[in-house]
Chains A and B, each alone.
Chain A
Amino acid sequence: MIRSLRRVTPQLVTLMVLAALVSWFFPTFLQIEMSDGRLVGPVIDILKRGAPVAILAVGMTLVVATGGIDLSVGTVMAITGAVAASALVSGWGVPMALLLACGAGVIAGLWNGCLVAVLGIQPIVATLILMTAGRGIAQLITEGRILTFTDTGFSWLGSGSLLGIPVPTLLWLLTAVLVAALMRRTALGLLIEAVGINQRASALAGVNARGLIVVVYMASGLCAALAGIIATADIRGADANNAGLWLELDAILAVVIGGNSLLGGRFSIAAAVLGAMIIQTINTGILLAGFPSEYNLVIKAVLVLAILMIQSPHLANEWALIRMQAARRRAAREQEG
């Protein structure tokens, strides 16, 4: 417990600094009120809007832990959203829509996993295929239109609330907790880390490395399906062109801000979802602070760069060196004095 808390300390500190920074511009940032039986306030908004990236980051963390990457998750969101919307429009009902959407996500992951683990294609290339082709598939499903639906049961998943808390927030929290528990209460986490650090040695020790790699891509596909369902439910429509657009990059960024190495190995799901919340805090914070929207992307880039620089092990070493030299100089001066 203490160890995992120490693991996420940099992310927690970053969040607190960001909160303080936004509060400076927007004093009521941390205020939360009860209105119509649901909690409202900027923080709640962040917890809700960050849901898709947070859920993507959970799956992406597993893929990255094996030394891979999944560029297709944004597109898979569009596909699964289209599948869910067209199922609803056809009148098949919410359970069927959810099942089909999740199934589509798992199949997308299976495709990626097979390209990587069986054919041995580099992950970045293998998932790029679906990233590009997938938008076309989604457009074929929606027949090029924005498919809208009116089912309130389904849209509750995107905009409803339970016990005052937005449903998307509960969904990403639940996903993160369940997956983290699955990883750490079983041996999956250890085996995935072993494969990510040294696939050859792990396979030689009897670990089914190929199978595990396929499974993590399937998990990533399922997470993308969940994110796609939330995004689609939120706007009550499937937009094949824009749903999940560029979110794969935010998901990768969340994993990296969470301190997970893109080379694979040790991973922390908690840190990755905190990373997603950091990104959403920046997004929302820039708007709240009143900057014109043209500045958003540039400010976001500067903040992300600052966060990554602070976390950089190289800079940490340099900093330690500088401090050591300063201490030595001070000691020398004191001796002279």
Chain B
Amino acid sequence: MLLTIRSLTKTFPGTKALDGVRFDLAAGEVHALLGENGAGKSTLIKCLTGAYRRDAGEIRLDGQAISPTSTSEAQELGIGTVYQEVNLLPNLTVAQNLTFGREPRRFGLVDGRAQKLAAQEMLRGYGLNIDVGRDLSSYSVAIQQIVAIARAVELSGKVLILDEPTASLDAAEVRMLFDVVRRLRDRGLGIVFVSHFLDQVFEITDRLTVLRNGQHVVTAETAGLDRLALIQHMLGRELEAVEAQGHADTSATQKPEMLTFTNMGRAGVIEPFDLSVRKGEVIGFAGLLGSGRTESAELLFGLRRAQTGTARDTEGPIAIDTPGNAIAAGFGFAPEDRKTDGIVADLSIRENIILALQARRGWARPLPRAEQDRLAAQYIASLDIRTSDAEKAIGDLSGGNQQKVVLARWLAMNPRFLILDEPTRGIDVGAHAEILKLIGKLTEGGMSVLIISSELDELVVAADRIIVVRDRRHVRELAGEALSADTILKAIAAEDAAPASEVAQ
């Protein structure tokens, strides 16, 4: 093995990002690293490239134990990385970029001719016919990507990590990139390929490893795995015992309709969709990362402005073009990325809880301190937020408790429609179950909830209805008997089948 990783562990305050993960990379293979957001892919890569120091575990390159402390050290050891956003210097020429830091010199000055020759030499074998004297920015992202790869291979030469390299490429460019990847593989490099485009994973990789919640799930030959099985590995089937109960209660689907969204859409983000929400109903959005599930919710909350579509309640049209308006309409939104979009880290738990309420009241009518203290105490007790004190900064709490505070912020508003994007991401199992229980209690009180989740079993348990989102489209709605992890999986995985059936028609 070229690269072996054993029991790699990395802990951040409140979460275990990697928990005893193993990973093997052979010379001359393309190995996919897969998993949903928060699975630990990027943490693994950062431990490998020296951006993070691991807490425990072992990394061996060519049998030698290594622990790089910086990306340049990793590069010298032979591990090079190319990111989605090309991190070269666009205002320098291709040749300058390729030889950056090691420019050929003559009498102490950079030798431009030798530099160009060296650059051309480096690019040989990549099938690129470009003028290395021109600025990097004058070429397409795909070519910049290949230049970045050429530089990384030149500097490192053993392991090449491609982190979402195809995210901003079109089909022809992807083909060009894959030609390069295959050539490098044949030269004996070990290539780690991170992507959430499963088609590309099946096309280019020899083996794949799936991570979930910081743990190693499976490593397998790509050819020996079908799409359904792969998605199953990625999304997980952990709550199997609970799932068996299914969702026999169909009463929610008979409740009166409260909100109707018609033809909501935005070009390049999500195709227009209709959605009706009944009082006290739990709706689930299922789909893979990047399918458009979060984007759909952002449209509903005015975080992204919808180009088309209208929203109505029983009394008439409502405006949801900005978060402020959506909040005024009685909506709430607990975002997926708690750290950057949810918590205000340096403020206290009390201040975080009252923030949305205070924003709605306006700055001139401050919530009396006694009322603030009462609300904080009430939600700390009712949501069982583990803290010594309501005045503690929220940033000091664990992930699960932070999530509860964000929930409390919205519950204090008493919304009629609450959107929860990945409410149980990155929180421990105990808090996980508590939050699911809480959702059930809220809907009994008449609140409607929209849950977005990668964990199918969680969705099946919590939701009355599930909408499957795929390729930026709402493709299926499942309810009642049809509501099971299997049917959702099949709907998500039906990617190839869809165009085929259209042809048949």
Contacts and interface: CB of A to CB of B under 8 A. Distances in A.
Interface of A: 185-188, 190-191, 193-194, 197-198, 200-208, 265-266
A186 B355 CA distance: 13
B343 A198 contact: yes
Question: Which 5 A/B pairs are nearest by Cβ-Cβ distance?
Answer: A206-B359, A205-B356, A187-B366, A206-B327, A207-B359
Nearest to A188: B363
Given A201-B342, A204-B323, A190 B333 contact: no
A197 B363 contact: no
B290 interface: no
Contacts of A185: 366
A200 B341 contact: yes
Contacts of A194: 344, 347, 351, 355
Most chain B beta-carbon neighbours within 10 Å: one of A187, A197, A202, A205? A205
Contacts of A200: 340-341
Interface of B: 303, 323-324, 327, 333, 335, 340-347, 351, 355-356, 358-367, 409
Contacts of A197: 344-347
A208 B324 contact: yes
B359 A198 contact: no
B29 to A, nearest CB: 40
5 contacts: A185-B366, A193-B347, A201-B344, A204-B303, A205-B355
Contacts of A191: 358-359, 363
A266 B358 contact: no
B356 A206 contact: yes
A194 B354 CA distance: 11
A204 B341 contact: yes
A206 B360 contact: yes
A3 B414 CA distance: 33
Contact of A203 (B323, B343, B345, B364): B323
A203 B324 CA distance: 8
A187 B358 contact: yes
B324 A206 contact: yes
Given A185-B366, A188-B363, A194-B355, 12 more contacts: A190-B358, A190-B366, A191-B358, A193-B346, A194-B347, A200-B341, A201-B341, A204-B335, A206-B327, A206-B359, A208-B359, A266-B346
A265 B343 CA distance: 13
Most chain B beta-carbon neighbours within 10 Å: one of A186, A188, A190, A193? A190
Given A205-B359, A206-B359, A187 B345 contact: no
A194 B394 CA distance: 12
Nearest to A264: B346
Contacts of B351: 190, 194
Contacts of A204: 303, 323, 333, 335, 341-342
Contacts of B346: 193, 197, 265-266
A187 B323 CA distance: 19
Contact of A186 (B303, B347, B364, B409): B364
A265 B324 CA distance: 22
Contact of B363 (A186, A203, A265, A266): A186
A187 B367 CA distance: 8
B321 to A, nearest CB: 13
A138 B364 CA distance: 36
A188 B333 CA distance: 23
A206 B323 contact: yes
A201 B409 CA distance: 12
Nearest to A212: B363
Contacts of B340: 198, 200-201
Most chain B beta-carbon neighbours within 10 Å: one of A187, A203, A206, A265? A206
Contacts of A207: 355, 359
A187 B342 contact: no
B345 A198 contact: yes
B2 to A, nearest CB: 41
Contacts of A186: 363-366
Contacts of B409: 205
Contact of B344 (A187, A202, A206, A208): A202
Given A194-B351, A206-B324, A201 B343 contact: yes
B358 to A, nearest CB: 5
Contacts of A206: 323-324, 327, 356, 359-360
